Each structure stands twice: as structure tokens, then as C-alpha cells.
Amino acid sequence: MQSITIVGSQRESVGKAASKALRNAGKVPCVLYGGNSTIHFSADALAFKKLIYTPNVYTATIELGGKTYNAILQDIQFDPVTDNIIHVDFYELHKDKEITLAVPIQIVGTAPGVMAGGTLRIVNRKLKVKALPENLPDFVPVDISWMEMGNRLYITKIAQEKYKIMHPDNTVVCQVRVSRAALKAAQEAAKADGKKKK
């Protein structure tokens, strides 16, 4: 999985006044959980641009005074008026501990049902996967090259090698729906066929 580096500095004072002063200076108050102790730090607001405003999922390499921590974004709070980031929570990753993360799907192939006039409806654009940090995928490939009109693709059809998909087997990922035009054409063809038989 791709990683983004965030250079921060540890916070000595924690509280509303200190956090407000940081935000006024263009910094974002952050907390890193999951280690031996909780770490409070701050980083430039611009450092989060690539991590947040994207459909992709990244891990974060947090650099604090010579120390490096591998983490994932756990929670983010925005100002309801300005939409600026006001707080970020990270969770530290450990090589030997599995983590659950929502990862985007990537459609692979072309469905014959779509070529025949159907429409592809994606039900779940992200799937929760569980894996060791080194095995976390950037995306989950979803092969639709076998799908005819009316077919549904369930979780069971997706290969799970180094990660486990944390959804029930009956979860629908996508489906090929019969479009109105295709349905109308089929009905007209059936009517014409019926007339021929008469």
C-alpha cells in the first residue's frame, strides 16, 4: 500500500486554547493511538491534502523529532462552517498485528451484459479488508468479464489471497442491470417472434 509522509512536531500543551492557536497558525492538532502511549502532535494542514481529498487509501509515515511511526488515518473532524480540518486521529501500525481497513474496488474487464446494453451498478465502492500492514492492498480487483445481464457479483467471487474481506458472503459488490432500452428491445423482439409463429 502506498504511503504518505507527514512531518509533525510533538505538542507540549493540550487543550482548547492550544488547539485553537495551532489552527490559527495553519497547523492541525493530531493524536496517534495504538502504541505504548498516546502521542499528541501537530502538522501543517497542507500535509493532509493527499491523504484526505482522494478516493485512494494510503498509510501514513509520521515523522516526529527523529522518530518514525507507521499509521493509518482513524478519524478526521472538519469545521462545519469552513470545512477546514480541525482534528485528526491516527492509529499506529505494527508489523505483526492485522488491521481492518476500507479499500476501494477496481473494476477489471468488460461485462458481456454491458456490451449487450445493460448497465453496471456498483453497490459497494469500498470493501473492508483485514491483513497485516505489509499485505494491505491499494485496491481490491473485481473481475466482471463473465457478467451477463441480470447477474450479480458476490463477495465469494473475489479472490482473497493475502487479505480477508470482512463482509458476509451474500454481500453484492456490483450487478449488471437490464436497461430500459434493452428491455424494450427484448419485448419487441418477443412480440415480433410471436407474430411470426402465428
* pLDDT at residue 178, rounded to an integer: 86
Full-model pTM:
0.81
C-alpha cell at 146: 463473465
Q: Considering the domain 100-185, what is its CATH architecture?
A: Beta Complex (2.170)
Which residues in the chain are classed under CATH 2.40.240.10? 3-93
- Encode pLDDT of 142-158 as tens digits: 999 999 999 999 999 99
Q: Looking at residues 31-35, what average pLDDT do you find? A: 94
Q: Considering the domain 3-93, what is its CATH architecture?
A: Beta Barrel (2.40)
Amino acid type, 29: P
| d(C-alpha 58, C-alpha 148), whole Å | 34
Is the confidence at residue 59, as pLDDT, over 60?
Answer: yes
**Cα–chain-centroid distance for residue 198?**
56
Which residues are CB-contacts of 185 (< 8 A; sequence separation ≥ 6)?
117
